[in-house]
Amino acid sequence: MTKLGQWLCGLALLGSVWAALALAPPGLRLPGPYRQALLPLPVYLLVAFGCYSLATVGYRLATFNDCEEAAAELQEHIRAAREDLGRRGLRF
């Protein structure tokens, strides 16, 4: 299962549990404070997910590694392409 599938399954599970509790089935009556905390729960989870995403992107950006070998290889490809285009009559 892909990561997207895992996230969607978890979201569907949490959403169905939230909807079941928020719609208050006849046999289940939640006390007032629990109900007041339950109703804005999707907004809280969305904010938490945004914070998690921002922290993950920030961490990955801070620990991004330089690839010196790949940069040198790319420069070589650029040089070869310029030489080939120069032989075909393109001027830089």
**Domain ranges across the chain:** 1-30, 33-91
pLDDT of residue 66: 82
Interval 14-29 mean pLDDT: 83
pLDDT of residue 9: 96
pLDDT of residue 89: 87
Whole-angstrom distance, CA of residue 11 vs CA of residue 49: 11
pLDDT tens-digit readout, 27-86? 777 787 888 888 888 899 899 999 999 999 999 999 988 888 999 999 999 999 999 998
CB 38 within 8 A of CB 17: no
pTM over 0.85: no
CB 30 within 8 A of CB 24: yes
